Amino acid sequence: MSGLTEILLQLGVGIVPIGVAYLAFRSATDANKKTQQTAVLQAERQAELERSKVDADAFVRAKTIYEDALNQMERQVARVQTQANQVSSDLVTEQSGATAMRDQIRQLQAQIRAMERTVITLRSQLLAAGLAPAPVSEITGPYTLGPRPPE
């Protein structure tokens, strides 16, 4: 049996290095997987960081564009407000002028009515005195402004 024992002993001694080699292989494989997983996680983190940087840059650009547009709109609103104030002021001036003109027209109309009454009174007085009044055509016009034409 010494031959069988010797074979079993050699087999046992041979299996131990194979077991150790298998465990070393398994440990190396696991370590390699962990390294790859770590590398993948780091790559994902780096990609996320890059996306964050791109997003941050895009946000800054968008914010700058938005603020510039907002500033332009505020300036434009201020210009429109100034123009509206000027138009309002012009409107008040025009309304005041129109009111003054209406008042003058009313005064002139009142003066015309007074003159018409005076003319009627004078015509009646002329007729009562036995004098002939001026013909109607001369009273109603047409009248030209400026020097009288030669007759």
Does the model's pTM come out above 0.85?
no
Residue 75: CA count within 13 A, CB half-sphere = 6
Q: Which residue, chain included where needed, has tokens 């013909």?
A: 135
State pLDDT tens for residues 86-120: 999 999 999 999 999 999 999 999 999 999 999 88
State pLDDT tens for residues 45-60: 988 888 888 888 888 9
CB within 8 A of 122, min separation 6: which ones? 133
Dig out the tokens for 52 from the structure. Answer: 């964050």
